[in-house]
Amino acid sequence: MAELRYNPLLDDWTMVASHRTNRPTMPKDFCPFCPGSGKVPDDYTVYKYDNDFPALMPEPPEPDEVGSDLYRTKKSYGKCEVILYSPNHTATLPELSVPHIEQLINLWTERFNELRRDPKNKYIMIFENRGEECGVTMPHPHGQIYAYSQMPLKIRTELTNCKNHHDQTGHCLICDMNREEQNFKQRVIFENEHFIAYIPFFTDYPYGLFIVSKNHKTALPDFTMEEKKSLAEMLKVMTGAMDTLFDRLFPYMMVLHQRPVNSEDVDDYYHFHIEFYPPLREANKIKYNASSETGAWAACNPKAVEQTSAKLREAYQRYLKNKVGD
């Protein structure tokens, strides 16, 4: 079964992908993403791999006949891709060189441009799940891309609030956030010529880092070669700082927030940024989303981000002293 089911309470769609339960358990001595597996080229730097068990498909099956006028169903149209960061099975993002990460960003950009050509796709989400705490069962360094035929609710909410702020002030909300964080300084971790990294005032994760473009741009294809190099540097050093924070592989969910595709023009009021959702609040303590967070979306951060920002800044300085891969 693979279909979309409408949630009338939230005006949203749930992906149903029960066929994913048939995914095989990979033997410990075999990785399909390693050269020599027969699944990927024997020589690659970064690589796009179509997901073998996608939740969204270019040619989806008909939905099961279980819907109604109230409980609507739709085909699970879209695309799910895996993006391999390196042929090295044990490499981590901060261990890759800046030129290598630039190639990854170029591949992300190519896939964004290709997937937006399909008029049925409305939003393209590039993301990475990292670490066992985030449910990762395949340790080979990789991320994913989902092309949705329905605008996800969180993105829709973010776009609405950015538009409302622009209508009321004439400003881009995220440009204003950048200025606010730069003026306050205490939550800023690092900035280079084109990007700034900070743990924003409002995040519900103790180490919920944002990486934001300084220039008002809305998606990867807008960036110059120099901006992509700056973004590669930023991704390398910030994930390196995270790994240094507790001297262990730092689990996170990382999501690139970009403009929608095949939808209304949002260039005046939307702004490219990357959000990290790291589940750790201490080295071996998880920040769980329990009843209030899940049932009411009432976010609760167990840490003051002014304190966690200072800790991540200190970890960034320690990382610089021992930087690898460049």
Which CATH number does the domain housing residue 46 bear? 3.30.428.10
Report if residue 61 sits inside a domain: yes
pLDDT confidence of residue 273: 98
Tokens 């879209």 correspond to 78
What do you get for the CA distance between the two ends of the chain, in Å?
Answer: 46
Phi-psi region at 141: left, alpha or beta (left = phi > 0; alpha = psi -120 to 50): beta
141 assigned to some structural domain: yes
Q: Which pLDDT belongs to residue 176?
A: 98
DSSP structural state of residue 278: -
Q: Is 24 part of a structural domain of the chain?
A: no
Helix (H/G/I), strand (E/B), else coil: 258: coil
Residues marked active site are found at 142
- Whether 25 is in a domain gets the answer no
- List C-alpha distances in Å: 294 to 99, 157, 288, 290: 40, 17, 10, 6
Position 2 scores a pLDDT of 87
Cα(94)–Cα(283) distance, integer angstroms:
19
Which of 308, 318, 279, 272 lies closest to 200, judged by CA? 308
Separation CA 128–CA 252 (nearest Å): 8
Residue 91 belongs to a domain: yes
Adjacent-strand bridge partners of 147: 79, 124
Q: List strand residue ranges (DSSP E) for the chain, in order.
A: 2-7, 12-17, 47-50, 73-75, 78-84, 123-130, 142-148, 188-191, 195-198, 210-213, 252-257, 273-277, 280-282, 285-286
Distance, in Å, from the CA atom of 317 to the CA atom of 103, rounded to the nearest integer, reads 26
Position 26 in a domain: no
Of the candidates 3, 19, 150, the one whose C-alpha atom is nearest the C-alpha of residue 62 is: 3
24, 30 contact by CB (below 8 A): no
Q: Which two tokens stand for residue 195?
A: 């990007």
List of residues 6+ apart from 172 with CB closer than 8 A = 162, 165, 166, 216, 268, 269, 270, 271
Angle of helix 98-115 relative to helix 225-245, nearest 10 degrees?
A: 120
Please check whether residue 130 lies inside any domain of the structure. Answer: yes
Task: Report the alpha-carbon distance of residue 235 to residue 223 in Å, rounded.
Answer: 15
Number of domains in the chain: 1
Q: Which residue from 88, 102, 82 is spatially nearest to 143, judged by alpha carbons?
A: 82
Print pLDDT tens along the chain (326 aa): 789 999 999 999 999 987 655 555 566 788 999 999 999 999 999 999 999 999 999 999 999 999 999 999 999 999 999 999 999 999 999 999 999 999 999 999 999 999 999 999 999 999 999 988 888 888 899 999 999 999 999 999 999 999 999 999 999 999 999 999 999 999 999 999 999 999 999 999 999 999 999 999 999 999 999 999 999 999 999 999 999 999 999 999 999 999 999 999 999 999 999 999 999 999 999 998 899 999 999 999 999 999 999 999 999 999 998 875 45
Structure tokens at 134: 């985030």
Dist CA 101 CA 204 (whole Å): 28
Give the structural domain span for 46: 2-17+32-321
Q: How far is CA 185 from CA 174, 209, 306, in A?
A: 16, 14, 10
| Residue at 152 is within a domain | yes
Distance CA 167, CA 161 (A): 10
Write the burial class of residue 45 (CB in 10 Å: 0-12 exposed, 13-18 middle, 19+ buried). Answer: middle
Can you tell me whether residue 84 is helix, strand or coil?
A: strand
